[in-house]
Amino acid sequence: MGTMRLTATFALGFSLVAAGGCGRAPATAPLAAAQPAASLAGALTADEAMALAALPLACLDHPQAPPPAAKVPYLWTPAGPPRLLTDYAAQRAFYGCYDWHSAVNSTWTLATILRRFPQLPIAPLIRMELDSHLGAKNIAGELQFFQSAKHFEMPYGRAFLLKLDAALLGWNDAGARRWAANLSPLARLMARSLTAYYDRLPYPIRTGVHPNTAWSMSLALDYADAAHDRELGRAIAATARRDFLADRDCNVAMEPGGPDFLSPCLAEGEIMSRLLPQAQFAAWLDGFLPPPGSPAFAHLTRPFDTAHMTKDQMAAKSHLIGLSFSRAESLERIASALPLRDPRAVYYRRKAQAQAQAGFQGLVAAGYLGSHWLATYAVMYAVEAPAAAPAMVAGGR
């Protein structure tokens, strides 16, 4: 399986060197020649999909490194010298790509690309990987682990697991039906745990990294809709309204707050765009974000130069590259929720495209600390964010 994966990866133009040990990074970044062009939302091409699929394919089978002693030993023995679990590839589903949540979102990326491009030359390879990682025994091992894992990967990773299941539900494909059936018990456990988490959350977490409350809600809401999970949907809607409905004048001057890969203001705008009726959302947005084109709004879209960052800052560098994609995705979703002739929609879409362009350009410089997850955020923008309708773009300033 590893040879087939790497053969396909090299054929796509990516230069990857085998990891020097479990969980270590390939020594080189993707070649510039293989870099996808910046896509309009909803307009991912087959060639771009091939290039983006190469990133998760190259890391999905690389076991994660042992965690610090205080962390939950998901893949490694809990006592004594670090040792991989015996037969981990049959007992775990999400053991590659640096960490658990990245393995989950990489699996989502492959499933999403396969669903949209079932005739890709590497489609059989993608199916083989999904069969390998989403087998019944693999998910049974995950379920056993999470039954006593307490708050492991709460909320970000668990919400992404639900997003993965949502991508499989309703897909008229024999493989997808099998993977969804295998994943279902784990998804239900995650849904129950997130429902309780949102119900008990004393205040929202407004960071620009993994614990962000609004972003996890957007990920989990896909599942609540696809699986008709009324309890999870209720918890998300009630908690978001309680925590965000009265918000005004989001502190855009604080963004980005260090190595963020999310915009707290735009993430909050995105979840409210999905929960509020159109007119109510448009009015709420008036008081929440600064006017388009204003100096204050520039904080949400100002480009940043990561070229000066050193090798020991690669994780932060990859986050800031990813921020371009998450900004783009949120701006597109917010634009799609506004009234047809709202001038903000045109402006947001233009800025979303510029952010995506910056993200695609940054892929080359991200290294393994970016390549193990950035394809997910590129696909979220290019495939999931609604495309701009020509009538809405015409006449934009």
**pLDDT > 70 fraction of the chain, expressed in percent and rounded:** 85
* Whether pTM exceeds 0.85: yes
Distance CA 365, CA 384 (A): 25
The candidate with the shortest Cα–Cα distance to 379, out of 164, 94, 133, 191, is 164
Q: What is the mean pLDDT of residues 9-22?
A: 34
| Range in 17-21, 189-193, 223-227, 246-250 with the lowest mean pLDDT | 17-21
* pLDDT per residue as tens digits for the range 120-149: 999 999 999 999 999 999 999 999 999 999
Q: What is the mean pLDDT of residues 361-382?
A: 86
Q: What is the mean pLDDT of residues 363-376?
A: 83
* pLDDT per residue as tens digits for the range 196-206: 999 999 999 99
* pLDDT per residue as tens digits for the range 175-223: 999 999 999 999 999 999 999 999 999 999 999 999 999 999 999 999 9
Q: Is the pLDDT of residue 17 over 60?
A: no
The pLDDT of residue 386 is 59
* 63-78 residues labelled b (16+ CB within 10 A) or e (exposed): bbbbbeeeebebbbee
* pLDDT per residue as tens digits for the range 269-280: 999 999 999 999
Task: Show the tokens assigned to 236.
Answer: 């998300």
Distance CA 276, CA 245 (A): 9
The pLDDT of residue 96 is 95
Residue spans per domain, the chain: 2-393
CA distances from 246 to 207, 250, 255, 287, 334 (A): 18, 11, 21, 9, 18
- Residue 90 and residue 141 in contact, taking contact as beta carbons nearer than 8 Å: yes
For residue 258, give every residue at least 6 positions away whose Cβ sits within 8 Å of its Cβ, in sequence order, or none. 208, 316
The pLDDT of residue 35 is 45
The pLDDT of residue 42 is 59
CB atoms within 10 A of CB 293: 13
Task: Show the tokens assigned to 340.
Answer: 């047809």
